[in-house]
Amino acid sequence: MNSVSNFVEKLRNSGLRPTKQRIKICEVLFNTDKTFHFTINELSKIISEKIEEKISLATIYNTVHAFKREGYLKEITINSDKSYFDTNTSHHHHFFDNLTKELTDLNDEDVEKIQIKKSLPGKKISSVEILVKVENE
Amino acid sequence: MNSVSNFVEKLRNSGLRPTKQRIKICEVLFNTDKTFHFTINELSKIISEKIEEKISLATIYNTVHAFKREGYLKEITINSDKSYFDTNTSHHHHFFDNLTKELTDLNDEDVEKIQIKKSLPGKKISSVEILVKVENE
DNA sequence: ATGCTACTTTATAATGATTCTAAAAAAAGT
DNA sequence: ACTTTTTTTAGAATCATTATAAAGTAGCAT
Ligand SMILES: [Mn+2]
Ligand SMILES: [Mn+2]
Ligand SMILES: [Zn+2]
Ligand SMILES: [Zn+2]
């Protein structure tokens, strides 16, 4: 489904030249039918496991941030400890299990339409995101 | 409204003895009718401006975290850059203006009841929080 | 293809928030 | 007053992230 030409397009759109390292990063991020959540460190580990040559952290940070800027990745903020990224770029929400530290998608359709009855003068809403924290029953 | 005896109670409930430094921190946090949002660094600055003697960062961190643990403060996570705390401990949501970095309360009553139509097996919801990002009109 | 230039990668250093440490100070207990 | 426990504090350690600057590579024009 996602092939090198697709990665090249994503990189170019993000203002990045398609280098060997960046293509490798794309393979990990986009060469799957399932979307997933990751931290930069996890991504770095996945890359070093799957790939013979190592990619420096600086390159990974730069590439991930460029993709985020362009909208090919979303950043999810749960707590101040860690920054999570998401390859699911559709508008959606999250469950977070504080015990297992697991993030689960909560699709927009799975939430009754949210009505905000307050507004701020001179401001308009640019996004509404819900974080549902869960615990064991 | 909030006086020293009230601060002493909050400290004791949080497992802390009422020392001079901790009472000063309470005065900044709780000796006001308005609730507010702050970062630890901002709190540290406010304290050093309002008070002759200086309180070490370690003491401020420890005290704030003890209050959070006990529920006298809430932590609000907007992005991974900074950790915000909130003296408003009622269940509520937030507006965040990414330009001004300003946080504004959005009361529970100002949001139409949220219905989550999906559930995770073996898990129950412990909190639902909404973050509304705003931008200039 | 060759060379020129701009972009990229990388190792390493810097930064900044938070936490840890251990010694001095303060408070509590006897 | 003396002893023990708790607290404060300065400074060190840690850890994620960002910056730097030198060496490598890609794109483009000859
Ligand atoms: Mn924290
Ligand atoms: Mn970021
Ligand atoms: Zn997601
Ligand atoms: Zn608030």
137 residues of chain B, pLDDT tens digit each:
568 999 999 999 999 999 999 999 999 999 888 999 999 999 999 999 888 778 999 999 999 999 999 999 999 988 777 789 999 999 999 999 988 888 999 999 999 999 999 999 999 999 999 999 999 98
A119 touches strand C (CB under 7 A): no
Listed in sequence order, the residues at least 6 apart from A62 whose beta carbon sits closer than 8 Å to its beta carbon are none
- Tokens 């993000």 correspond to A14
User: Residue B63's pLDDT is what?
Assistant: 97
Chain A interface test: which of B84, B104, B114 (most A C-beta within 10 Å): B114
Model confidence over A33-89: pLDDT tens digits? 899 999 999 999 999 988 877 899 999 999 999 999 999 999 998 877 778 999 999
Q: How far is the CA of B29 from the C1' of C26 (A)?
A: 24
Our CA-based measurement puts residue B3 at a distance from the nearest CA of chain A, in whole angstroms, of 32
List alpha helices for B1-137, DSSP H: 4-13, 20-30, 40-50, 57-70
Our CA-based measurement puts residue B89 at a distance from the nearest CA of chain A, in whole angstroms, of 17
CB-hemisphere CA count at 13 Å for B4? 7
The strand order across the sheet containing B83-86 reads B37-39, B83-86, B74-77
User: What residue type is assigned to position B76 of the chain?
Assistant: I
In a domain, A19, yes or no: yes
> How far is residue A122's CA from residue A118's CA, in Å, rounded to a whole number?
13
* Domain range enclosing A62: 4-85
What's the total number of domains in chain A?
1
User: Residue B1's pLDDT is what?
Assistant: 57
User: Residue B82's pLDDT is what?
Assistant: 77
Kindly state the tokens that stand for B5.
């005896």
Q: Which ligand is nearest to the CA of A108?
A: 3
Q: Collapsing DSSP states into helix, strand and coil, what is residue B43?
A: helix
In a domain, A96, yes or no: no
Percent of chain B as helix, strand, coil, to the nearest 5:
35, 30, 35
In a domain, A110, yes or no: no
Share of residues in chain A with pLDDT > 90 (%): 78
What CATH number has the domain bearing residue A77? 1.10.10.10
- Tokens 């139509």 correspond to B117
Q: How far is the CA of B121 from the C1' of C9 (A)?
A: 45
CA angle A58, A61, A62 (to 5 degrees): 85
Instruction: Using a CB cutoff of 5 Å, list residues around ligand 3, an ion.
Output: A 86, 88, 105
Chain B interface test: which of A75, A83, A104, A126 (most B C-beta within 10 Å): A126
Q: Which residue has the higher pLDDT, A110 or A3?
A: A110
In a domain, B65, yes or no: yes
Residue A94 near residue A105, CB atoms below 8 Å: yes
Is A131 an 8 Å CB contact of chain B?
Answer: yes
Residue B98 near residue A88, CB atoms below 8 Å: no
pLDDT band at A27 (very low <50, low <70, confident <90, very high): very high
Q: Note whether B125 contacts A133, CB cutoff 8 Å.
A: yes
Is B125 an 8 Å CB contact of chain A?
Answer: yes
In a domain, A64, yes or no: yes
User: Residue A116's pLDDT is what?
Assistant: 95
In a domain, A106, yes or no: no
> How far is residue A133's CA from residue B58's CA, in Å, rounded to a whole number?
29
Paired with A116 in beta bridges are: B111
In a domain, A130, yes or no: no
Listed in sequence order, the residues at least 6 apart from B60 whose beta carbon sits closer than 8 Å to its beta carbon are B25, B40, B43, B44, B47
Residues of chain A contacting residue B82, judged by C-beta atoms under 8 Å apart: 80
CA-derived radius of gyration, chain B: 17
User: Residue B32's pLDDT is what?
Assistant: 83
Q: Note whether B137 contacts A124, CB cutoff 8 Å.
A: yes
CA–centroid distance, A73 to ligand 2, in Å, is 12
CA angle B45, B51, B55 (to 5 degrees): 65
Residue B89 near residue B72, CB atoms below 8 Å: yes
User: Residue A21's pLDDT is what?
Assistant: 96
In a domain, B32, yes or no: yes
